[in-house]
Structure 1
Amino acid sequence: MSLPTLHGPRWAELRLHRTALLTGGALVVAALAYTGWLRWAARAYPEPTGACTSHGTCETFLGFPSARDLLSISMSNGAVALLLVPLLIGVFVAGPMLGREMESGVYKLSWTQSVSPTRWLATKVTTAAALAAGGTLALMAVFRFGASGMIGVRWDLHWADRGVYETTGPALVAYALLAVAVGTLAGLLVRRTLLAMAATGVVTGLVLLLLGNARWHLVPALTRSKPATGDSSWVSMWSTNSFVMDQGVTNAAGERFYPGQCLPKPIPGYSCPTDTKVVSAYADYHPRSHFWYVQLIETGIVLALAAAAVYAAFRILRRRAA
C-alpha cells in the first residue's frame, strides 16, 4: 500500500498494519459488488412467477420468492452485521495496534526515536479514528445503496429496527470512534494483547446494548387515544411508519391494560383492573420525525464517552511516561 502524501509516524503506522487495511478495503469492495448484483437482480426479477400458494408452484430466485425478497433479507441481516464493525475496530486497536506494542515493549523504542509519548499516542488515535470513520461511512454508503427505496416500505427494514437505525444515521460512526477510544484506553491500562481485546469487546458491546435499549426513552413518546369501537378500527390509529412503544386500552377510570390478557376474563399472573370495560384505546409511539432527535442525542452521548476515554488514556500515558 502506498500513500506518498503521508510521512513520519502515520506513514509507519499504515505500513505496519497494511495487511489489515487491505483486508478491510477488500471487504468493502466485496460488499459493494454483492449489493450491486442484488440491486440488478431485484430489477430483473422483482416478482415471483406462478401461483405461490400452498397448492401451487412458482419459480423462485435462489430459493426466495423473488430477487427483491433476497435483497430485503440481505440488507436487513447486513444492517445487523454492521453493528459488529465497532467491536472489530475496538478489538483491533486494543490488540494489534496498541496492546501488542505495550506488551512487547516496542513502544519504548518508539519513544527514543525523537517521538514524544504524547505524539506517539496521538498519531495512533487520530490514524485509527480517521480509518474507522472512513471505513464505517463506506459500509454505510453500501447499505444505503442496497436499501434505497426499501426502508420503511419493507416490513424487515423499518427505520427504527436495530441495525437499520444505527446504519442510517451518525450513531454508527460515533460507536466506531468510541471503539477506538475504548481500545486505546484498554491497551494502555491492561498492557496485554488478548486481555485488552476482550475488555474492549465487552465494554463496547455493553454500550451498544445499553444505549440501544434506552435510546427510545431519550425523547418523550407521543400518545394518541381514540374511543374504542366494536369493529376494532382503533387498532390502526397511528401511522404504519411510526415506532410503537406501548399500546392497549383504558377503562372509564383511565387505567391502562391489555385486552388480550384481561378479556373476557383475567389471565392468572397478569395485573388487570377491577373494571375491564373498554372505553378507549391508546398508543405511545415515536413518529418518523423523532429519528434525528434520537440520533443526535445518542451520538452526542457516545462521542462524550469517547472523549472521556481518550482523555483518560492520555492522562495514564503522562503518568507512565513521567
Structure 2
Amino acid sequence: MTATTAPVAQARAAGKPRLIRWVLRLHRPALYGWAGLAVVLAVVLIALAGPLADAAAEGWRQYDACDFRGPCHYDQDAILRYKDWYNYATTALDVLPFLVAAWAGAALTGRELETGTARLAWTQSTSPARWLAVRLAVPALVVAAGTGPLFWLHHLAWAAGQGRIDTVKTWYDVFTFHANGPTTTALALAGLAAGALAGLLFRRALPALVLGVVFISGVWGLAQQLMPHLWPTVTSTASLKQGYPGSGITVEQGLVTRTGAHLPDPYCSSDASCHAVLAKATGYYSTYHPASHYWPLQLTTSALILAVTGLLVLACFLVLRRLTGPVTTAPTGKAAV
C-alpha cells in the first residue's frame, strides 16, 4: 500500500461506522417508535397465543355445549376480545410496509434532499453512493429484525385458535396470509426501497411520502395477483349435489361435462340458458391451492417481492447517479467515503 492510498483506506474504514452512527442518531425518534411498536405488538401476539386464545376457546366450548332449550351461559366477552385483538394485530402487521414506505420517502431521503443535508454530507468526504448504501442497509437490518419475530408470533397466535375457536381466520384469508409469514418482512423491505426511491425522485418530503405509499401499494397488488400462479395448483372435482370441492386459494372454478371438459359456471339457476349449460354438466371442478401449499406460496411470493425490491434499490442508485453524476476522487487527494 502506497503513502497515497493508505490515508484513503483509513478514511474509508473510519467513515463507515461514522455514517452508521449518524443515520441512527438522525433517525432516533423513528427508531424508538419502531422499537416501541414492535414491543407492543409482540406483547399482544403473545397474549393472543396464550391466555386470550385459551379464554376464547373455553367460551366456544361453553357455547357448543348449549342445547338452547333454556338460557345459555358462555363467555361471549372472551370470544369477542380474542377476535378484536387478533384483527388489530393483523391489521397493524399488514400496515407496517406502508408505514416504512411513508417514513423512507419523507424522512430517509426526501427530507435530507429537500433541506440540503444530503449534499452537505456529499461534500464532507462521503460519496453519494455510500451515503445511499448506508441509508438503505441500516434501516433494512432494523426492519428485518423487527418484522421477523412479529410474523412468527402472529403465526403462533393464529395457530393457537385452530380447531378451538370457531371464528378463527382461514389460512388463505388475504390479511392473515401476509401477516402469518415472511411476506411481511419482504413487503416491509420493499416499502423501504420504494420510499427511498420516491424521495430521490421528488426530493421533497410530503410528495415522497405519498409516492412511497403508492409504490408499495403497487408492489402489494402485483404480489397478490401473481401469488396463485407461483406454485402448481391442484384440481378436484365433485358432483353437482356436493358443490365446489376443496378449500384454499381458488384460481379457477367451473363445471365438468360428461366428456371431462371444463365450462365456466353460469352462476344462475332459473333462465333457459342456465338450464342448458347445467344440463351438460356432471359436476363441479376447482383449481386451487390447499393448505399444504401455504409455505411454498409464502416462500415464492417472498422471493418475488425481494426481486422487485432489488430492482427498486437499483433504481435508487440510478436516480442518484443522475442527480450527482459519476463519482470522482476529490482534488485534495482525500477519497470519498
TM-score range relative to shorter protein: 0.7 to 0.9
1:304–1:237 Cα change, 3 Å: closer
The gaps in structure 1 that reach 5 residues or longer are 1-5
Contact kept in structure 1, 2:171 and 2:177, CA below 8 Å: yes
Q: 2:69 & 2:209 partners in 1: Cα distance?
A: 50
Q: Does 1:283 align with 2:286?
A: yes
Instruction: Give the alignment of 1:208-227 within 5 angstroms.
Output: 208-227=220-239
1:319 CA drift (Å): 2.9
- Mapped partners of 2:110, 2:199: distance in 1: 4
* Shift in alpha-carbon separation, 1:116–1:52, aligned structure 2, 3 A: farther
Q: Retained in 2: the 8 A contact 1:99–1:193? A: yes
Could you say which residue in structure 2 is the equivalent of 1:19? 29
Higher alpha-carbon deviation: 117-126 or 169-178 = 169-178
- Structure 2 counterpart SS, 1:309: helix
Q: CA deviation at 1:292?
A: 2.8
Is the 8 Å Cα contact of residues 244 and 285 (structure 2) preserved in structure 1?
no
Code of the aligned partner of 1:20: A
* Number of the residue aligned with 1:274: 276
Q: For 1:309 and 1:125, locate their aligned partners in 2 and report how far apart those are by CA, in whole Å.
A: 11
The amino acid across from 1:305 in the alignment is V
SS of the equivalent of 2:58 reads coil
Partner of 1:256: 263
1:76 touches 1:164 (CA, 8 Å); kept in 2?
A: no
- Aligned-partner SS, 1:235: coil
Q: Which stretch of structure 1 is more off in the superposition, 111-120 or 50-59?
A: 50-59
Per the TM alignment, residue 136 of structure 1 is displaced from its structure 2 partner at its CA by 1.3
Q: Report how far residue 173 of structure 1 moved.
A: 1.3
Whole-angstrom CA distance in 2 between matches of 1:314 and 1:258: 49
Quick one: distance in 1 between partners of 2:286 and 2:263? 11
Give the match for residue 177 of structure 1. Answer: 189
SS at match of 2:121: helix
Give the distance between the partners of 1:144 and 1:133, measured in 2 at CA: 17
Decide which structure has greater helix share: 2
Q: One-letter code of the match for 1:7?
A: P
Alignment length (residue pairs): 302
* Aligned counterpart in structure 2 of residue 150 of structure 1, from 158, 161, 169: 161
SS of aligned partner of 1:283: strand
Residues 228 and 297, structure 2, Cα contact 8 Å, conserved in 1:
yes
Q: CA deviation at 1:227?
A: 4.4
Q: Secondary structure at the match of 2:71?
A: coil
CA-CA distance at 1:123 after TM superposition:
0.6
Structure-1 separation of matches of 2:264 and 2:317: 53
2:138 aligns with 127
Deviation at 1:190, TM superposition (A): 0.6
2:102 is equivalent to residue 91 of structure 1 = yes
Q: CA separation of 1:126/1:149 partners in 2, compared to 1, >3 Å: closer, same or farther? A: same
CA RMSD of superposed structures (Å): 2.9
Distance 1:128 1:70 in 2: 34
Residues 273/297 of structure 1: CA separation in 2 closer, same or farther (3 Å cut): farther
Judging changes above 3 Å, is the alpha-carbon distance between structure 1 residues 260 and 300 closer, same or farther for their aligned structure 2 residues? closer
- 1:263-311 alpha-carbon deviations (Å, 9 max, x no partner): 3x328xxx74734224222222212232233223322221121111111
Aligned twin of 2:243: 235
Q: Which residue of 2 aligns with 1:3?
A: none
Which stretch of structure 1 is more off in the superposition, 40-49 or 86-95?
A: 40-49
1:94–1:193 contact (8 Å) kept in structure 2: yes
Q: Is the contact between residue 80 and residue 162 of structure 1 (CA under 8 Å) also seen in structure 2?
A: no
Q: Does structure 1 residue 56 correspond to structure 2 residue 56?
A: no
The structure whose Rg is larger is 2
Q: Secondary structure at the match of 2:278?
A: coil
Instruction: Please point out which of 310, 313, 319 is paired with 2:313.
Output: 310
Give the secondary structure class of the aligned counterpart of 1:141.
Answer: helix
Give distance in 1, aligned partners of 2:197 and 2:67: 55
State the structure with bigger RCO (CA 8 A, min sep 6), 1 or 2: 2
Q: Distance in 2 between matches of 1:290 and 1:312?
A: 33
Which SS does the other structure have where 1:113 is aligned? Answer: coil
Tell me, in whole angstroms, the C-alpha distance in 2 between the residues paired with 1:151 and 1:287: 16
Amino acid of the structure 1 residue aligned with 2:28:
R
Tell me the residue number matched to 1:167: 179
* Separation in structure 1 between the aligned mates of residue 85 and residue 92 of structure 2, nearest angstrom: 10
Query: Structure 1 184/56 Cα, relative in aligned 2: closer, same or farther at 3 Å?
Result: same
Tell me how far 1:30 sits from its aligned partner: 1.8
SS at structure 2 position matched to 1:157: coil
Distance 1:116 1:298 in 2: 35
Q: Which residue of 2 aligns with 1:75?
A: 86
- Deviation per CA, 1:234-256, whole angstroms, max 9, x where unpaired? 33743x5x434444433446453
Q: Post-superposition shift, 1:163?
A: 2.0
Map of 1:293 onto structure 2: 296
1:106 aligns with: 117
